[in-house]
Amino acid sequence: MGNRTPLYETHVASKAKMVDFGGWDMPLHYGSQLEEHHRVRQDAGMFDVSHMNVFDLKGKEVRDFLRLLLANDVAKLQTPGRALYSCMLNPKGGVIDDLIVYYLDDALFRVVANAATREQDLTWIRNSAEQYGGVQIVPRDDLAMIAVQGPNAKKKVYKALGDPLRVAEKLKPFHSISVGDLFVATTGYTGEDGFEIILPTTPVRDIWEALREADVAPVGLGARDTLRLEAGMCLYGQDMDDATTPLESGLAWTVAFEPADRKFIGRDVLDEQRRSGAPRQLAGLVLEGKGCVLRSHQKVHTGSLGDGEITSGGFSPTLNCSIALARLPAGVPLGAVCEVDIRGKRLGVRVVKYPFVRRGKSCLT
């Protein structure tokens, strides 16, 4: 580990603007964040996501262990290659991390989690696995990852990497397949079509350059954030954390309450919130006027129900307006007009259903 990604020299050579991101040197943009955003929505862009935490879980008891560890249920994964999005909770129902788990075979699952939570994740998983003596946790620091997203992403991946990749053409969302040394998945973070390619670090620069030659644009952290916000996808540490439950973070759909007898860490708290109602909700906001940008930590005044707070906010290049995710008191309805405090001024925002954008099109009504 350290402050470098496997593509560090490549990014520096391309004069990308580098910033610290969870202990990694990462590209904020390669020239124009706005152009990079539009390339993903309209054509194809690629992200160096080699900082993500990849580890394999092995052993005969690994499925039973994951059914305890995760709020979603890996029993749903019956076909090798299937993937599942889930939160990993503490006993109070707070989100330790959100992750994707891939079912490879009955004794092997692959997990991709956030980079900044690496040490706490591994410590929590190892401690939780103590009663499952046969489970091995293997960090895969030998692997890198490139995400290619956009309406033309798959076509350009085939052009860059050759016909063997066409075996991935029929993959449905949240599926994966191994093609030689490449592990190819369809679990994107932008609301667009595409692939995530996990591969050994040795050939990763060659793959990156092959994609560039196929006219796939490099995209930095800035556009990655505006893209995921438009897609209504939560960011750990902002839209959820270890003090908020999935039911307070718009992630109730990731919790498998059935079968009722499955015990998973944090279940008691979630069962109670499900019965009595979560006190807070995650909602979408759209700024009614122009000239200001919604940002995280801005206070949201809802009237008699109390105040909330923006968790993620920014300008939407696709919609040409300011949007946000906000944690509001329970009961604030869709369509309600609230007020956001921006530098001492209260400006109107409309509560909307998210995602805001899907497949390059507005979801706002």
Q: 73-92, pLDDT tens digit by residue? A: 999 999 999 999 999 999 99
* Domain enclosing residue 309, as ranges: 279-362
Pick left, alpha or beta for residue 297 (phi over 0 → left; psi -120 to 50 → alpha; otherwise beta).
Answer: left
Peptide linkage before 355 cis (omega within 30 of 0): yes
**For the domain that residue 316 is a member of, what is the CATH number?**
2.40.30.110
Q: Which sign does the torsion angle of CA 312, 316, 322, 323 carry? A: negative
Asked if residue 283 and residue 271 are part of one domain, the reply reads no
Asked if residue 289 and residue 266 are part of one domain, the reply reads no
Asked if residue 204 and residue 290 are part of one domain, the reply reads no
pLDDT of res. 3: 58
**For the domain that residue 45 is a member of, what is the CATH number?**
3.30.1360.120
CA angle 262, 263, 268 (to 5 degrees): 120
Q: What is the 3-state secondary structure (H, E, C) of 271-297?
A: HHHHHHCCCEEEEEEEECCCCCCCCCC
Asked if residue 98 and residue 22 are part of one domain, the reply reads yes
Q: How far apart are CA 190 and CA 49, in angstroms?
A: 13
Of 277, 312, 342, which residue sits at a domain end? 277
Asked if residue 262 and residue 324 are part of one domain, the reply reads no
Q: 302-316, pLDDT tens digit by residue? A: 999 999 999 999 999
Asked if residue 249 and residue 304 are part of one domain, the reply reads no
pLDDT of res. 1: 43
Asked if residue 212 and residue 305 are part of one domain, the reply reads no
Q: What are phi and psi of 107, to 5 degrees?
A: -115, 15
Asked if residue 352 and residue 336 are part of one domain, the reply reads yes
Q: How far apart are CA 145 and CA 98, in angstroms?
A: 18
- The domain tally of the chain equals 2
pTM: 0.95
Of 277, 300, 322, which residue sits at a domain end? 277
Asked if residue 320 and residue 246 are part of one domain, the reply reads no
Instruction: Give pLDDT < 50 ranges for the chain.
Output: 1-2
Asked if residue 124 and residue 76 are part of one domain, the reply reads yes
Q: What are phi and psi of 186, to 5 degrees?
A: -120, 65
- Rounded to 10 degrees, what is the CA torsion of 13, 38, 216, 46? 70
DSSP 329-350: ETTPPTT-EEEEEETTEEEEEE
Asked if residue 113 and residue 138 are part of one domain, the reply reads yes
Of 277, 301, 336, which residue sits at a domain end? 277
